[in-house]
Chain A
C-alpha cells in the first residue's frame, strides 16, 4: 500500500498542550522535500517552523491556518506518496487514532474515528522473532547478535567481509527494505578548454552564471580558482561613487515596507504585554571589575576555557539568585513560584530577532560549563535552530549590550520571569583614591528591571548588593 503518514500537532515542551497553525507554507497537493518548511505553529510561548522530515506530498490539509487552537496530537494533515488515491487517504483518516487518547481526531468529514482502522498507518513490518542461529558461515559477533535478535535468515546474505564474512553492516542492510531510489541524473559538462585553472565545481558555477573564468584570480591551492572565487562574483555590488563637489540634491526616500513575520509578531506582542502589564521599576548600580577581569584571564588559562565577561556575570547572577530565592521567581497570575536553582536566560540577537535561550541551573555549573553552554546556545540561535525547549521558562534574564559600547540601559522583563539585568560595557572611570588622589578603575553599570508585583525595592536592592559584592571579589565565584 502507499506510504501514508499522519501529520499531527507536535508537542514541543512539557507544558505545551495545544497550538495554532499560524500559516501553511505548502498547499494541499503540493510535493515537498526533506527540510522544507511546512508550516508555522504558534504556542502560548513561541512560534516555530515545522520542517519536513522526509520527501512526500501534502495529500490532505485538514486544519487551515486560523486562530483556533488544536490539541497536541490532533491530526493536521496527511502526507503520502504522490500516487496515493483519495480513497486511500479517506480510509486512512477514518482509521486514524491519535497517539494521546484524550485527544480527538479532527477532520475526515467530522465523523468520530472509526473503531477498526482498515489500514495500519506505519508500514507494518513482518513480526521478527529472535532465533538461535547455528551456522558455518563466517560472521562477526555483533552481526550474529543482531541477526539472532531480529530473526534474520543469514544464508542469502552475501558477506562483504574477507572471504564472504558477514559484517554488522550486511545484516543491517538485509533488515532494511529496498529503498525507492530517485536520481538527479546528468549535469552539464563544462569543457576544460579555457586554460583557466579552476576546480570542476567552480567551472560549473561560472558557466551557470555566465562568468568568464579568464578574468578571475584564484585564491585556492596553488592559485587555483575555487568555488568561493566564482561565488564572490555572482552578485556584484553596484555602489555609486560619490562625486566630490557636486551640489546636494534630494533623492527619493521611499520606505521599504516589511510586514512583521510571524516570529516578529509574537515577539512584539509579548514585549508590549510585558511592558504594559508588568509594573516595572529600575535599580541601578555599578561595580568595579578590575579584579574580575584579571581573574578571568588567569582562570580561563587554567581552565582552558574562553569564558566571556558575560559568562562570569551569568555565574555571579546565578549564585546571587540562589542566595536570594525571592528574586529567583516566576510570576504566574496571582501566585509567585520561587525556585531552588537558577535558570538564567541570556538575550541573544539572532537573524530571526531577539531570542532568550536559557542556561539551566547555572548556579550548579562551573565557569567552563557555563561558557560551553552559552557558546552552544548562541551558535544555535545564530543558525536559527533554537527549539522551544531551549527557551521555555527561566527564572531571570541577563541582557548585555556592553560589546556595543553601551554604558547602561533599561530592559523589559521577559515573562513569566520576575526580573532582568541589563549589563553595560566596561568603562575606565576616575575615582577618588586613598589620600584624596585620583585613580582609574574599570567599572561596569548594571540596571535591574524588577516586577513590583513579586519583588519589592528592598529585596531587589539586597540582591544587587550581593551581586556587586561577588563581582568585586570574584574569588567567590569559585567558592
Chain B
C-alpha cells in the first residue's frame, strides 16, 4: 500500500498502463502542460496535474496535445479506438460534453452495436466534474445523469484514490467506451492505494463504506464523504447507516442497493446533479419497484435545486447538498410515522 493523492492515482495508473501496453495513448487540451510556451513542454503542467511527467516518459506520439476543439478530441478518440489503439481522452471540464456529444453519444457509444459486434471501441473519456470550486454554471456541473442514461457507455465515478486506481485500470483495459468522471474537489484527497500492478475493481460493484441496519444512504463522489460524516454522527446515537459508494452508475449495482434496503427499510440517495430525471430519482424508483415490501418510509433523494449552479460562493454552498442537509433528510426518513 502506498499513500497518494486522487490526482496522483490518475497519473500513476495511466503511466503504468501506457508502459504495459503501447496501444494506450492520451489526448486532450494542454495535457503536455506548457507546449508552445517559452519554458517548453511540461513547464507549466496541465490545469489538473493529471498528466504530470507522462510526456517525458512516452513522448509526443503518445501524449497528444489537441486544439481547443472537444468534438475533435472525441472524434479522434473514436477513430483511434476503432483502429486498434486504446485512447484516453481528457475533457478539461465535464461541462464541455455538450459540444462533443455527437461523437460520444451517436458514435462511440453505438459503434459496437451498429456494426453487429464486429468491432470494439476501447476508449476512455476522462473528465473533471463537480461544484465547490466557485467556477460558475458552465464549469461546475455533475453530468453523470446525462451520460448514465445513454446505452453503450459505462460510467465510472470514483471516490477514493484506491478506487481511482482500480477503476481506471479496469476502464483502460475494457473493450467498450468508458466515461471516467473525476471530481475536481477530490483531486487533492489522499488515501492508501494497493501496489498490485494488476489491481482492478470490476464495474457494477459498489463499495460499502459504513455498515448499519437502520437506513441505506447511496451516493458517490464528493458527497460520499458528507454521507460518511452523517453516518458517523448517527452511529453515536445508535442509528446505523449503510453507506453505499456506487463507484459506477452504469452498470449499477442494483443488488447491493436492494440487499441493503431489504435490511434497513429506508433509503436516501445523495446526488450532486439536479433532481429531475436524476440518478437519485432513478434509484428511488428502483427501490420503490423492487423493494416496496421492505420499505418503512418513502425513499428520499437529496439533490441540489433545479437551477443552474450559482457563482457566488455563499449561493454555491447553499446550492450543494451539505452534511446538515443530508442529516436532516436522514432524520426525516427515520421519523416517518
Contacts and interface: CB of A to CB of B under 8 A. Distances in A.
A183 interface: yes
B117 interface: no
B335 A200 contact: no
B116 interface: no
Interface string A150-173: 000000000000000000010001
B199 to A, nearest CB: 7
B208 A186 contact: no
A390 B153 CA distance: 53
Given A173-B336, A176-B337, A224-B205, A201 B212 contact: no
A15 B19 CA distance: 84
B97 to A, nearest CB: 26
A203 to B, nearest CB: 8
Nearest to A218: B202
Interface string A231-275: 000000000000000000000000000000000000000000000
A227 interface: yes
Given A220-B255, A222-B203, A224-B202, A186 B240 contact: yes
A187 B212 contact: yes
A189 B211 contact: yes
B244 interface: yes
Interface string B103-130: 0000000000000000000000000000
B43 interface: no
Interface in B183-215: 199, 202-214
B75 interface: no
Contacts, number: 89
Contacts of A220: 255
Interface residues of B, number: 33
Interface in B241-290: 241-242, 244, 251, 253, 255-256, 259-260, 263
Nearest to A185: B240
B76 interface: no
Interface in A187-232: 187-190, 192, 195, 197, 199-201, 203-204, 220-224, 226-227
A128 interface: no
Contacts of A187: 211-213, 240, 242
Contacts of B260: 200-201
A186 to B, nearest CB: 4
Given A179-B337, A200-B259, A222-B202, A169 B298 contact: yes
A276 to B, nearest CB: 47
A207 to B, nearest CB: 10
A201 B235 contact: no
A432 interface: no
A201 B255 CA distance: 9
B255 A199 contact: yes
A87 B241 CA distance: 40
Contacts of A227: 259
Given A184-B213, A185-B235, A222-B204, A201 B240 contact: no
A199 B259 contact: yes
B337 A201 contact: no
Interface string B218-254: 0000000000000000010011111010000001010
25 contacts: A169-B298, A173-B336, A173-B337, A176-B337, A177-B337, A178-B337, A181-B334, A183-B239, A185-B214, A185-B235, A186-B211, A186-B213, A186-B240, A187-B212, A189-B210, A190-B208, A199-B253, A200-B211, A200-B259, A201-B263, A204-B211, A221-B204, A222-B251, A224-B255, A226-B255
Interface of A: 169, 173, 176-179, 181, 183-190, 192, 195, 197, 199-201, 203-204, 220-224, 226-227
Give me the 3 closest cross-chain CB pairs, A-B, nearest first: A184-B213, A201-B259, A176-B337
